[in-house]
Chain A
Amino acid sequence: MKRLKTSKYFEIIKVIFKEATAYRLDALMLLASSIVFLLLYYFVWLAIDQSGEIPGGFQQVITYIVAGQIVSNAAFTQTETFIGDRVRRGTIVNELKRPISLMTYTYFHELAWALFNFIAKAVPIAIIGIIFLGIDTPNLVNTFFFVLSVFLAFNVVFLFAYSTAMLVFWTKVDWSIRMMRNTVQNLFSGVLFPLYLLPDTLNTVFNLLPFQVMADAPIQIFTMSATGSEIYFILGKQIIWIVILYFVAFFAWKKARTKLTVQGG
């Protein structure tokens, strides 16, 4: 019985993986976009380094930025699109007929995409960063915990994005909601600007937000600025946010579901 249950989820992942390979061109373009992003900020930070003094030096900033791209390419899902497509076409009804809940199904759909993106985008970016940008690499222990932390970050992003995706039941449009979340998320998580360079008061504020554990947390493990027990503290903080956001997502879905019944009438 237990075996059968897990194989159900495994099947979803297998199917999505096939789906993902059909979008190879998209993946390639997104990888190229990511490389363009790295190139741009490589030169911007290089220029900043030449004009002033960056605390910790240029090497640390560029390692942080590359790690940010690794994390965001693997863990940042676009759940609004998944839900939005189905709400607009009305096929969301089909998802509700499945023997698993909408949240579980969406979760495995996004997890499969994250796995695909990890292999197709995050790993190539890591290699490019190491070979061409000469970034620092973490030791074996930190590499292991980095991957684990990226997985936890994926869960945080998923639950957050799933909550905002529920808004689509009211708005019927998803691109603007997705864009708003991505905009806020990219700045507050550290993907755009290394959080350790923030002024102290801002840093405190950013650290209280869920976005910090979406990227900055795993990045700290990658850059080796967190070691030993600090790593457990980071993982613990991620888990706390997963629990909190699980309840948010759960109640958002409960609200959205009543809205859906009205729609179906």
Chain B
Amino acid sequence: MNLKNVKKHLRVYKIFFVAFLKSRLIYKTDFVLGVLSQTIHLVFSLAFLTLIFTQVESIQGWGFNEILLLVGFGGLILNLHHIFLFALYTFGEDKIVTGRFDRFLVRPLNPLFQVYASYVSDNNISKLLVNIALIVYAGQRVDATIFTFENLLYGSLATVSGVLVLAGIFLGFATTAFWTGRSKAVFWLFFNVSDFRKYPFGIYALPIQLMLVTVIPIAFASFFPVTFFLEREQWRIWQYLSLVAGPIFFLVSYKFWSHGVSNYSSTGS
């Protein structure tokens, strides 16, 4: 991948992106209802958190606003990932079983890039905005000073790394579709596991904590970075690991993906 190649991919992405948005104009109801349902989903999950906090004042030393910050920051990373990189969700059903993946292999572009470029999950935009609002709201109410230059720098790097962590998880899950022909069902499992990011890491038993830093490493994309903002010293190593976790997990998954691509034989229609 030299610079010229990157530039070409970016230029193609822009064309794909605009083409996708144009095609979306035909399905305005889908977009409006999609945004509405995502917003309702987020509002209801906040209502649920509020109900939880009618029972306690803090969960393992995490107060309501701190949990909100955790939900907001983790959600921001999740939504950023989903908006641009969600296409892998239907990879098995849409690309493998139908044999459409063939097309991607004959074009002079990276096949994974083409999968990503084929779909923009635009209905996540409202959630992204609400999550940013949550960070701003909760950030002003927690004890620590959140809005500093140091946090901005760390937060930006952690966001990029976090998006890559999620991309790595998605890529790993979707690659299994080369053998099974399906991908949606395994993602249902992920969607439920991804809720683990909303609560303090310390409440889980050790096997679950291990899972959240290895097989499904979402703790790097929510909990550890937030402890940095809240100045919790005991997580120091994990906070810095969060900055490199993304590239590492993504590269591992990409290796797995390449293995899958080389094993791919078309459905032959």
Contact = CB atoms under 8 A, between A and B. Distances in A.
Chain B associates with chain A:
yes
A183 B188 contact: no
Q: Which of A50, A177, A180, A199 has the most CB of B within 10 A?
A: A180
Q: How large is the interface on A (under 10, 10 to 19, 20 to 34, 35 or more residues)?
A: 35 or more
A25 interface: yes
Given A33-B192, A51-B59, A183-B41, A43 B203 contact: yes
Contact of A36 (B33, B40, B192): B192
A20 B195 CA distance: 28
B186 A29 contact: yes
Given A36-B193, A173-B27, A29 B188 contact: yes
B30 interface: yes
B204 interface: yes
Interface SS of A by simple majority: helix
B51 A176 contact: no
Contact of B199 (A33, A44, A177): A44
A180 B59 contact: no
A54 B146 CA distance: 32
B48 A47 contact: no
Given A47-B59, A48-B55, A171 B33 contact: yes
Contact of B40 (A26, A180, A193, A197): A180
A179 B37 contact: yes
Q: Which of A37, A179, A197, A198 has the most CB of B within 10 A?
A: A179
Q: Which of A26, A36, A192 has the most CB of B within 10 A?
A: A36
Contacts of A198: 51, 54
Contact of B203 (A26, A46, A193): A46
A133 interface: no
Contacts of A172: 29-30
Nearest to A192: B48
Contacts of A43: 199, 203-205, 208
Given A25-B182, A32-B189, A52 B55 contact: yes
B217 to A, nearest CB: 16
Contacts of B123: 176
B208 A39 contact: yes
Q: How large is the interface on B (under 10, 10 to 19, 20 to 34, 35 or more residues)?
A: 35 or more
Q: Which of A52, A54, A177 has the most CB of B within 10 A?
A: A52
Given A46-B203, A187-B44, A197 B195 contact: no
B58 interface: yes
A171 B28 CA distance: 10
Contacts of A173: 27, 29-30, 33-34
Q: Which of B55, B123, B196 has the most CB of A within 10 A?
A: B55
A30 B57 CA distance: 33
Interface in B14-67: 27, 29-30, 33-34, 36-38, 40-41, 44, 47-48, 51-52, 54-60
Interface string B110-139: 000000000000010000000000000000
A54 B55 CA distance: 7
A176 B36 contact: yes
B37 A176 contact: yes
A40 interface: yes
A176 to B, nearest CB: 4
B199 A179 contact: no
B58 A180 contact: no
A173 B34 CA distance: 9
B149 interface: no
Interface in A155-187: 171-173, 175-177, 179-180, 183-184, 186-187
Contacts of A183: 37, 40-41, 44
The 7 closest A-B pairs by CB, nearest first: A52-B56, A176-B33, A47-B203, A29-B185, A176-B37, A179-B37, A36-B192
Interface of A: 25-26, 28-30, 32-34, 36-37, 39-40, 43-44, 46-48, 50-52, 54, 171-173, 175-177, 179-180, 183-184, 186-187, 192-193, 197-199
Given A29-B188, A175-B37, A180-B41, 17 more contacts: A25-B180, A33-B188, A33-B192, A36-B189, A40-B192, A40-B195, A43-B208, A44-B52, A48-B59, A171-B33, A172-B29, A173-B30, A173-B34, A176-B34, A180-B33, A197-B54, A198-B51
Interface of B: 27, 29-30, 33-34, 36-38, 40-41, 44, 47-48, 51-52, 54-60, 123, 180, 182, 185-186, 188-189, 191-193, 195-196, 199-200, 203-205, 208
